[in-house]
Amino acid sequence: MQYQDYWLLPSGITEILPEEAALLEDLRRKLLDLYARWGYEMVIPPMIEYVESLLVGGGKALDLQTFRLTDQLTGRMMGVRADMTPQVARIDAHHLKRDVPTRLCYWGTVLHTRPNNFAGSRSLMQVGAELYGYKGVSSDIEVLALMLETLRVVGLTEFHLDVGHVEIYRSLVNQAQLDATQEIQLFDAIKRKAAVELAELLKTWRVETTLAIMLNSLIHLHGDNSVLTEARQQFKTAPAAVHHALDELEQLHAALDHTPLHFDLAELRGYSYHTGIVFAAYIDKHGEAIAKGGRYDDIGKIFGRARPATGFSTNLRTLVTFTPAPPKQLTRIFAPYSTSPSWMAKVQELRSQGEIVICGLPQQVGDAKMMECTRELHQTGNDWQIIDI
């Protein structure tokens, strides 16, 4: 590498310059304050830890996204976190060990081996909230409501909200008694909503007619809440777990009746990870979900304590691109260099009042305007005055 290339960064890794950093910090504070008002306590998990702990519940996707390195102290394999959710679940299960519902929030950088989309970032600033210890749909409603409030804090009011329930698909597949290879093929066909291919697969496997009709109907059951009514008819003979899932979706709709929800019963995002209601928010002309979450019960089991859990997360750097206007910046005061004790006393007084004061340096290059200051400190007799420039 030539010396002139030392400033180059790896693909998908970017620096954050002052203007964007100010925006990010302003939004970060607003969101963490919001979560605190809802009773969510902040935790800060480590950037790296043993790989097996990081990959709990993440499945193959998280495994492929995790950078690995060898711990020089133990020789064990470590990983740089690609998702903070398993870490927070460990904190709840292993460290806090509470019996009551526990609300936790977090933020920090996560690193991916590959970007999620073309020319995307591999270094994300993840922020999110998790609710542990309550099995009922009321916790899903609260978490989804908090995600919606997060988007409103950003200034987003026009977005598309997809809602599904992975237990519907899981229960029907279990009843079909397919082998592992068949399950993979079925999952892929439903995920792509490939109706002809799906019907052919079920026919080839000789899946019982009534069950085949229900599986075929999954890819067509998407739209407003009328989908839930239609699903009741389609799934009359389905297992009880399917009807329980529909009950939960109806309760969710009733609780958020002022929010347009798009139900998609073939939504299988995070199928290997999630266990119940799943949701994701989208906006026009942005291919990836801007926030997503759902239920993932028993993730803490491997840490010694299975707990019901639901939560959501988002990328702070994505959200900040949708903020309507930068935060109001305080004007800066330039204080030309002086050795006078009264000068330093005045500088300290102004800073204690919340003013931004830039102190001049001896024989420095640049005056107040070049330092992007709009006011300047001037000595008048034994006093110091602020003047506009």
pLDDT digits (tens, 9 = 90+) for 42-55: 999 999 999 988 88
What pLDDT shows up at residue 60?
Answer: 64
Q: What pLDDT does residue 4 have?
A: 66
Domains of the chain: 9-157+283-329 (3.30.930.10), 160-262 (no CATH), 332-388 (no CATH)
The confidence score (pLDDT) of residue 31 equals 97
Please choose, from the candidates 312, 261, 326, 26, the residue with its C-alpha nearest in 3D space to the C-alpha of residue 150.
Answer: 312
Q: How far apart are CA 143 and CA 148, in angstroms?
A: 9
Per the structure block, which two tokens stand in for 211? Answer: 């069950």
Angstrom distances, CA of residue 233 to CA of 82, 168, 195, 236: 41, 14, 20, 6
Contact 129, 311 (CB under 8 A): yes
Confidence class of residue 285 from pLDDT cuts 50, 70 and 90?
confident
Average pLDDT over residues 217-236: 95
pLDDT at res. 217:
95
The residue-averaged pLDDT of 277-297 equals 92
Whole-prediction pTM: 0.90
Predicted pLDDT at 118: 65
Is the distance from CB of 313 to CB of 128 less than 8 angstroms? yes
Residue 314 banded pLDDT, cuts 50, 70, 90 = very high
Structure confidence by residue, pLDDT tens digits, 107-135: 999 999 998 776 678 999 999 999 999 99
The answer to whether 132 and 305 are in contact (CB under 8 A) is no
Whole-number pLDDT of residue 357: 96
Judged against a pLDDT cut of 80, whether residue 136 lies above it is answered with: yes
**Tokens coding 250:** 């109806």
Asked whether residue 259 carries a pLDDT value surpassing 70, the answer given is: yes
318 vs 154: CA distance, rounded Å: 10
- Whether residue 327 is predicted with pLDDT greater than 60 in this model: the reply is no
3-state helix, strand, coil in the chain (%, to 5): 40, 20, 40
Looking at the chain, the number of H-run helices and the number of E-run strands are 13, 16
Output the pLDDT for position 326. Answer: 62
